């Protein structure tokens, strides 16, 4: 029994781990690499393992850095089952189609500009076929992945339908429980329930995105959001927010709903300029059973994501019309790391205006445009053109859907409390500084911790 760490090993994107047991091969996630275009494209084109060797895939959640290469597997012949939760399947239906569309459009655009010629990883047909292979299982219901591997999902509290995966692996009379954390959420996030630590773990494969950072509180994040909007509106500027279409956009709309109701922000229009965010918001509305009933707005308001200031702009012409409008406004658009999508057009038009604010509300991986904004680079390269960054840049870490170093430590502490034989913790999905600090802290508490390199194999 062994695990090979193929993606999100000493980095954040491209989550993929290979579980080998009793002659069977199971992928845990198969996500898209993001970052420098050439490097990420080369990684994405490299299959994690021969297609004919893959017996099953277990998917933790729908974010593209965890699910985004599944259609690439299908394009190359994968026909097995992809196990996930019902909400993850519904979100993937819109997200993978959008991913295919973006890749095709980006390839067309770059070809027209003569910048470079790239082949899309997969087509809309591939993404549709991927959804057909998905088998959805609710939380806490056991299922057989392959002979020798029985699994169940528990709520990871990260996005709608996100799961930590519990895998009971049996070979030669020995059974070991592997827990794959997926992405661990935070307690107190709007809409989503708090993360649930699994029990009985022998081995934990654990994310470490914010292993060296402490987030501000969710209440503090909401207050800072209100302050940024008030200050920017007073300058007559726009608030441009790159946001993940799944989870982050809905959290922002939820908080803006709360703030508008309390009179804490001016009555300026709020535009959700992302067809994907519109579709995923509809998926959220399909799964109210997964919402946190302890929150006031969830209990008292029927339409969490619909109020008088918010406008959803699906059509391209509606999006283009925003550039011609005057006065303060909030524009929330994908992608969350500003690597694709309509936010690129808004940054092209608005990053050079000192009245505006670019508001960063999520993790920005190394080599992404979002990271360069956070670093306040004086010039941004967008669609091959140089755009000066004169807008204000604000960063609110309290909106992260990832647990911080204290929350990660608390999560694995609780796993250990409910597990008699926990032997190893392997840290994935984190850049080296975050992983190394978290590893040091966990070792000081008595954990045996490893930070696997790409393609490193560990027996368990």
Mean pLDDT by 10 residues, the chain (460 residues): 97 96 97 86 93 98 96 98 98 94 79 72 96 98 98 97 98 96 93 96 97 91 97 98 92 96 97 94 95 92 94 95 95 92 95 98 88 97 94 93 96 96 95 97 97 97
pLDDT the model gives residue 108? 81
Give the domain CATH number at 390.
Answer: 3.40.50.10890
For residues 209 and 236, state if they share a domain.
no
DSSP string, 133-191: TEEE--TT--EEEETTEEEEEEE-SSSTT-EEEEEEEEETTEEEEEEE--S---TT-SS
pLDDT the model gives residue 102? 79
Q: What is the CA radius of gyration of the chain?
A: 21
pLDDT the model gives residue 372? 97
**Torsions phi, psi of 242, nearest 5?**
-70, 125
Helix (H, G, I), strand (E, B) or coil at 75: helix
Task: Identify whether 335 is preceded by a cis peptide bond (ω within 30 of 0).
Answer: yes
Q: What is the pTM for the complete model shown? A: 0.88
Nearest of 363, 336, 367, 369 to residue 351 by alpha carbon: 369
Of 380, 399, 418, which closes a domain? 399
pLDDT in tens, 264-320: 999 999 999 999 999 999 999 999 999 999 998 999 998 999 999 999 999 999 999
The CA distances from residue 185 to 67, 143, 162, 460, in Å, are 17, 24, 9, 26
Is 360 exposed, middle or buried (CB count within 10 Å of its CB: 0-12, 13-18, 19+)? buried
Of 373, 399, 425, which closes a domain? 399
Nearest of 35, 102, 88, 31 to residue 343 by alpha carbon: 102
The answer for 188, left when phi > 0, alpha when psi is -120 to 50, beta otherwise, is left
**Torsions phi, psi of 146, nearest 5?**
-145, 165
pLDDT the model gives residue 123? 93
For residues 424 and 394, state if they share a domain.
no
State how many domains the chain has: 2
% residues pLDDT > 70 (the chain)? 99
For residues 164 and 189, state if they share a domain.
yes
Nearest of 25, 33, 26 to residue 7 by alpha carbon: 33
For residues 9 and 151, state if they share a domain.
yes
For residues 230 and 259, state if they share a domain.
yes
pLDDT the model gives residue 115? 59
The CA distances from residue 320 to 296, 312, 345, in Å, are 36, 13, 9
For residues 127 and 203, state if they share a domain.
yes
């Amino acid at each position: 029994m062994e695990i090979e760490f193929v993606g999100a090993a000493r980095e954040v994107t491209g989550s993929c781990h290979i579980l080998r047991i009793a002659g069977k091969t199971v992928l845990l996630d198969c996500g898209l690499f993001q970052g420098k275009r050439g490097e990420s494209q080369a990684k994405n084109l490299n299959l994690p393992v021969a297609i004919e060797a893959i017996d099953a895939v277990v998917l933790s959640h729908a974010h593209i850095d965890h699910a985004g290469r599944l259609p690439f597997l299908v394009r190359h012949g994968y026909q097995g089952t992809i196990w996930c939760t019902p909400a993850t399947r519904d979100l993937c239906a819109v997200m993978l189609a959008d991913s295919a569309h973006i890749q095709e459009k980006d390839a067309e655009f770059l070809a027209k500009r003569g910048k470079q010629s790239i082949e899309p990883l997969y087509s809309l047909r591939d993404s549709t076929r991927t959804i057909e292979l998905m088998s959805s299982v609710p939380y806490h219901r056991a299922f057989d992945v392959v002979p020798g591997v029985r699994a169940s999902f528990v709520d990871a509290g990260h996005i709608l339908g996100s799961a930590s995966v519990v895998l009971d692996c049996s070979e030669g009379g020995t059974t070991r429980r592997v827990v794959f954390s997926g992405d661990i959420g935070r307690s107190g996030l709007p809409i989503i329930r708090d993360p649930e630590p699994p029990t009985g773990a022998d081995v934990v494969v654990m994310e470490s995105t914010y292993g060296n950072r402490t987030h501000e509180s969710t209440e503090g994040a909401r207050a800072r959001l209100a302050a940024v909007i008030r200050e920017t509106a007073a300058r007559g500027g726009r608030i441009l927010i790159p946001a993940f279409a799944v989870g982050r956009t809905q959290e922002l709309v939820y908080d803006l709903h709360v703030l508008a109701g309390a009179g804490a922000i001016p009555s300026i229009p709020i535009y959700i300029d992302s067809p994907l965010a519109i579709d995923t918001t509809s998926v959220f509305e399909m799964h109210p059973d997964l919402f946190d009933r302890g929150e006031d707005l969830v209990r008292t308001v029927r339409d969490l994501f619909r109020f008088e200031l918010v406008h959803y702009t699906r059509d391209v012409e509606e999006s283009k019309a925003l550039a011609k409008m005057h006065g303060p406004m909030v524009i929330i658009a994908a992608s969350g790391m500003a690597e694709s999508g309509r936010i690129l057009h808004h940054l092209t038009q608005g990053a050079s205006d000192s009245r505006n604010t670019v508001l960063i509300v999520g993790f920005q991986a190394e080599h992404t445009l979002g990271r360069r904004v956070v670093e306040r680079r004086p010039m941004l390269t967008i669609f091959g053109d140089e755009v000066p960054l004169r807008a204000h840049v604000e960063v609110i870490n309290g909106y992260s859907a990832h647990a911080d170093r204290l929350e990660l430590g608390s999560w694995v502490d609780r796993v250990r409390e409910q597990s008699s034989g926990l032997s190893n913790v392997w840290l994935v999905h984190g850049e080296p500084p975050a992983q190394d600090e978290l590893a040091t802290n966990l070792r000081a508490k008595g954990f045996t911790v490893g930070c696997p390199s790409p393609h490193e194999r560990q027996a368990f």
